[in-house]
Amino acid sequence: MLTTTRVDNAYDVALENFDTAADALGLNNDIRVMIKYPERILTVTVPVRMDDGHIHRFEAYRVQHSMVRGPAKGGVRYHPQVTLDEVKALATWMTWKCAVVNIPFGGAKGGVTCDPKHMSQGELERMTRRYTSAILPLIGPDQDIPAPDVYTNSQTMAWIMDTYSMTKGYPIPGVVTGKPISLGGSLGRSEATGRGVFNTIECACEHLRRQLKDTTVAVQGFGNAGSVAAQLLHEAGAKVVSVSDSTGCIYNRNGLNIPEVMHMKFLTGHVYGFPESEPISPAEQLALECEILVPAALENIIHAENATSVRARIIAEAANGPLTPAADRILEGKGVFIIPDILCNAGGVTVSYFEWVQDEQHLFWDAQDVYNRLERVMKTAFRDVLKIRDEHKVPMRIAANMLGVGRVAEAVQIRGIYP
Q: Is residue 238 domain-shared with residue 296, that is, in the same domain?
A: yes
Whether 370 is covered by a domain: the verdict is no
Domain stop point among 286, 318, 344? 344
pLDDT for position 7 = 53
pLDDT for position 133 = 97
Whether 383 is covered by a domain: the verdict is no
Query: Distances in Å between the alpha carbon of 62 and those of 132, 135, 193?
Result: 10, 7, 22
Phi, psi of 371 (to 5 degrees): -60, -45
Whether 19 is covered by a domain: the verdict is no
Q: Is residue 250 domain-shared with residue 165, that is, in the same domain?
A: no
Segment 402-407 shows an average pLDDT of: 98
Whether 408 is covered by a domain: the verdict is no
Q: Is residue 156 domain-shared with residue 208, that is, in the same domain?
A: no
The C-alpha angle 197, 198, 202, rounded to 5 degrees, equals 120
Task: For residues 355 and 174, give the distance between their C-alpha atoms in angstroms, rounded to a whole number.
Answer: 8
Q: Provide, for the chain, the percentages of residues in helix, strand and coil under a 3-state DSSP scheme, each rounded to the nearest 5.
A: 50, 15, 35
**Per the structure, how many domains does the chain have?**
2
Whether 388 is covered by a domain: the verdict is no
Using a pLDDT cut of 70, give the percent of the chain over it. Answer: 98
> pLDDT digits over 341-389, tens only?
999 999 999 999 999 999 999 999 999 999 999 999 999 999 999 999 9
Segment 144-167 shows an average pLDDT of: 96
Domain stop point among 129, 163, 183? 183
Task: For residues 382 and 376, give the distance between their C-alpha atoms in angstroms, rounded to a whole number.
Answer: 10
Q: Is residue 118 domain-shared with residue 229, that is, in the same domain?
A: no
> pLDDT digits over 29-53, tens only?
999 999 999 999 999 999 999 999 9
Q: Is residue 166 domain-shared with residue 231, that is, in the same domain?
A: no
Residue 305: CB atoms within 10 A of its CB come to 16
Sheet holding 292-295, edge to edge: 278-280, 248-251, 239-245, 216-220, 292-295, 314-316, 337-339
In 3D space, the residue among 106, 5, 13 whose CA is nearest the CA of residue 326 turns out to be 13
Q: Is residue 146 domain-shared with residue 258, that is, in the same domain?
A: no
Largest CA distance in the chain: 66
Is pLDDT of 5 > 70? no
Whether 293 is covered by a domain: the verdict is yes
Q: Is residue 66 domain-shared with residue 198, that is, in the same domain?
A: no
Q: Is residue 105 domain-shared with residue 77, that is, in the same domain?
A: yes
Domain stop point among 294, 325, 344? 344
Q: Is residue 337 domain-shared with residue 271, that is, in the same domain?
A: yes
Q: Is residue 45 domain-shared with residue 161, that is, in the same domain?
A: yes
In which domain, by residue range, is 98 found? 37-183
Segment 14-22 shows an average pLDDT of: 94
Whether 400 is covered by a domain: the verdict is no
Contact predicate 34/412, CB 8 Å: yes
Contact predicate 374/389, CB 8 Å: no
Task: For residues 225 and 219, give the distance between their C-alpha atoms in angstroms, rounded to a whole number.
Answer: 10
* Bridge partners, residue 111, by sequence: 61, 77
Would you give the distance in Å from CA 63 to the centre of its chain? 16
Task: Output the domain CATH number for residue 304.
Answer: 3.40.50.720
Which pLDDT band holds residue 241 (cuts at 50, 70, 90)? very high
Give the DSSP H or E segment for 352.
Answer: helix 347-361
Q: Please, which residues have CB within 8 angstroms of residue 326's CB and are 6 or more apart in sequence? A: 8, 303, 304, 307
pLDDT for position 4 = 44
Which pLDDT band holds residue 6 (cuts at 50, 70, 90)? very low
Q: Is residue 234 domain-shared with residue 283, that is, in the same domain?
A: yes
Segment 73-100 shows an average pLDDT of: 96
Residue positions annotated with a catalytic role: 109
Task: For residues 91 and 66, give the distance between their C-alpha atoms in angstroms, rounded to a whole number.
Answer: 8
Q: pTM for the full model?
A: 0.92
Whether 264 is covered by a domain: the verdict is yes
Task: Output the domain CATH number for residue 77.
Answer: 3.40.50.10860
pLDDT for position 300 = 86
Q: Is residue 197 domain-shared with residue 340, that is, in the same domain?
A: yes
Compute the residue count for the chain. Answer: 419
> pLDDT digits over 245-278, tens only?
988 999 999 999 999 999 999 999 999 999 989 9
Query: Distances in Å between the alpha carbon of 257 and those of 18, 268, 279, 368?
Result: 40, 16, 15, 25
Residue 180 half-sphere exposure, CB side, CA atoms within 13 Å?
9
Burial call 317-346: b when 16+ CB within 10 Å, e when fewer: bbbbbbbbbbbbebbbeeebbbbbbbbbbb
Please state, rounded to an integer, the average pLDDT across all residues of the chain. 95
What region, left, alpha or beta, does residue 76 occupy, with left being phi > 0 and alpha being psi -120 to 50 degrees?
beta
228-232, 234-238, 253-257, 297-301: least confidently modelled range: 297-301
